[in-house]
């Protein structure tokens, strides 16, 4: 499944399926982006980052895609697991500070 | 040590109280941050400290007063808060400079009554 992360949307996926979470960022001058995962009662946790000179970066089970033309980021999670259930935020680095997007709540159905 | 530690985890305070939130890291990071997060919303930047000096104040009301006593500690002093200030307050740190991710603490859940 996939979603657009503009108004804290929710995304529900079956365990084992792939998830796609989208984010639109605001500043065309931003040159560094991070996806964070936030579980209930915890602070945001770094998942993966990408610099603006790249359009794709892969980690363990996660891939981030960057489209600078339309100012769009996506996070792909392969073989989604129940432990992936959380709120996911993209963050853009502007002027040496990170500003967060709206977030997407991911629920994995066992 | 790769953690940011925040205390207390929960705080309930009256509108006339004075309290402080504390944040500590021992990773040698020279930039530290306070964020405020309301329920179902993204974290919002409040303050940035770079080399123990305040470099960014995102138009935060004066009832919030940050302090950075040394490179490992960051405090947020609270006075005369309003119920709408109830939120999760997150501290983060990073190596100084661009293109480094932040390490976040677990936050202090503040309730103003």
Residues B26-85: tens digit of each pLDDT: 999 999 999 999 998 999 999 999 999 998 888 899 999 999 999 999 999 999 999 999
Residue range A53-64: average pLDDT? 96
Q: How far apart are CA A50 and CA B17, in angstroms?
A: 43
The pLDDT of residue B97? 65
| CB A43, CB A70: distance < 8 Å | no
CA–CA–CA angle B34, B71, B22 (5° rounding): 45
Tell whether A29 is within 8 A of chain B (Cβ).
no
Q: How far apart are CA A47 and CA A36, in angstroms?
A: 5
The pLDDT of residue A5? 41
| CB B5, CB B24: distance < 8 Å | yes
**Structure tokens, A74:** 């996506």
Tell whether A34 is within 8 A of chain B (Cβ).
yes
Whether residue A75 has pLDDT greater than 70: yes
Q: Which of A31, A46, A97 sits opposite B56 (nearest CB)?
A: A97
**3-class DSSP state of B16:** coil
Cβ pair A97:B4 closer than 8 A: no
Residue range A7-19: average pLDDT? 90
Q: How far apart are CA B73 and CA B4, in angstroms?
A: 10
Give the residue from B5, B35, B42 with the most A CB atoms within 10 Å of its CB, the best one to mutate: B42
**3-class DSSP state of B32:** strand
Whether residue A23 has pLDDT greater than 80: yes
Residue range B9-23: average pLDDT? 96
Task: Specify whether the backbone of B82 is left (phi greater than 0), alpha (psi in -120 to 50) or beta.
Answer: beta
Q: Which of A36, A42, A51 sits opposite B106 (nearest CB)?
A: A42
pLDDT confidence band for A7 (50 / 70 / 90): low
B11 forms beta bridges with B110
CA–CA–CA angle A91, B95, A69 (5° rounding): 30
Sign of the alpha-carbon dihedral angle for A67, A39, B40, B9: negative
């Amino acid at each position: 499944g996939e979603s657009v992360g503009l108004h804290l949307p929710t995304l529900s996926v079956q365990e084992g399926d792939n998830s796609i979470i989208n984010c639109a960022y605001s500043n065309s001058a931003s040159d560094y982006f991070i996806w964070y995962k936030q579980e209930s009662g915890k602070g945001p946790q770094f998942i993966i980052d990408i610099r603006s000179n790249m359009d794709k970066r892969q980690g363990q089970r996660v891939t981030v895609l960057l489209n600078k033309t339309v100012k769009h980021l996506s996070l792909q999670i392969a073989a989604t697991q129940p432990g992936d259930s959380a709120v996911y935020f993209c963050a853009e680095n502007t002027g040496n500070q990170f500003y967060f997007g709206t977030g997407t709540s991911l629920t994995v159905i066992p | 040590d790769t953690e940011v530690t925040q205390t207390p985890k929960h705080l309930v305070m009256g509108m006339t109280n004075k309290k402080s939130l504390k944040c500590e890291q021992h990773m040698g990071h020279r930039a530290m941050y306070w964020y405020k997060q309301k329920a179902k919303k993204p974290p919002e930047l409040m303050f940035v400290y770079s080399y123990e000096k305040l470099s960014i104040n995102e138009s935060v009301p004066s009832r919030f007063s940050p302090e950075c006593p040394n490179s490992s500690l960051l405090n947020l002093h609270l006075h005369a808060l309003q119920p709408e200030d109830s939120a999760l307050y997150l501290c983060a740190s990073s190596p100084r400079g661009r293109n480094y991710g932040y390490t976040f603490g677990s936050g202090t859940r503040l309730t103003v009554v």
